[in-house]
Amino acid sequence: MKLDDTWFTEICEDAGSAFSLKITSKLHDEQTPYQRIEIYETQKYGKLMTIDGLVMLSSRDNFIYHEMLSHPVLFTHSDPKDVLIVGGGDCGTLLEVLKHQSVCKVQQVEIDERVTRLAEQYFPELCIANNDVRAEFIFEDAIKWVKGSKDARYDIIIVDSTDPVGPAEGLFTTAFFSECIRVLRPDGIIVQQSESPLIHGHIIKSMYVAMREAGFDNVQSVLFPQSVYPSGWWSATMASKNELLTEFREVDAKKKVFKTHYYNKDVHQGALNYPEFFSEYI
């Protein structure tokens, strides 16, 4: 929602709050078969992509979200080789995943191809790994894709989705998580963006319940800042059947051979710790 022609404003009814960015121009406005995608140039945050009036990413701070959705789970798994990204059309998560040399194959299943094509045009810095031979793009309904996938196919599933409304609503259910546990290998891990711990506790709590009902015995969230999202505080939640999620390859994380802007070993360790009220959700 726009306050006027010089500000983009997203109102969060759940929090009784709003967040605004000063814009200098609108670069793109398109209604796809699935959603409305708008792209703006902002005064201080670079380019801004919104979907159905909600902020998806900005040039200035997207690295926090993409790194924290990717590197904690990849360094928690002992040897990640085959990765599935559900959603992630802007390709920022794909870029981070492909920094890991152990990864042999990444399939990105995004329902709306236009998100990716517009990211290539307006956020090319996120798409520099799109031609990596390990990357495969599939523009289909990810729920159907997972349901049609063979057993024990992936080491890691990363669900980089929008909020649990519209096309993404089915990604937050026991039925979907049950299919994910089937297509994961015995030591496989799923991670999913899980909204704000401050204002979306009901969503986080329902995810924990759904993941456990699906058969994931271990569930663990990581918490991190994200200034353009409601409350400025966000989370991602990992789940596994067998693997402990509070432990990770600390030596490998400390000696990582690639550059990050936010993630490091100490950030990972800190993100595993919960504030007192979080116990209400888990």
Kindly state the DSSP code that residue 124 receives in the 8-state scheme. G
Q: What angle do CA 140, 142, 146 make, to 5 degrees?
A: 120
Among residues 90, 151, 160, 266, the one annotated as catalytic is: 160
Phi and psi at 154, nearest 5°, equal -120, 150
257-267 pLDDT, tens digit per residue, is 999 999 999 99
May I ask the CATH class of domain 62-280?
A: alpha beta
CATH superfamily of the 2-58 domain: Spermidine synthase, tetramerisation domain (2.30.140.10)
Give Cα 203 to chain centroid, integer Å: 15
Q: Percent of the chain, pLDDT > 90?
A: 91
Sorted by where each begins, the domain ranges of the chain are 2-58, 62-280
For residues 134-156, average pLDDT? 96
b (16+ CB within 10 A) / e for 178-208: bbbbbbbbeebbbbbbbbbbbbbbebbebbb
Distance CA 61, CA 247 (A): 27
Query: What type of residue sits at position 244?
Result: L
163-194 pLDDT, tens digit per residue, is 666 666 778 899 999 999 999 999 999 999 99
Least confident of 7-11, 134-138, 164-168, 275-279: 164-168
Tokens, residue 28: 């793109």
4 among known catalytic residues = no
Residue 264 is predicted with a pLDDT of 98
Tokens, residue 182: 């089937």
Pairing of strands 82-87, 105-109: parallel
| Angle between helix 201-214 and 174-183 (nearest 10) | 50
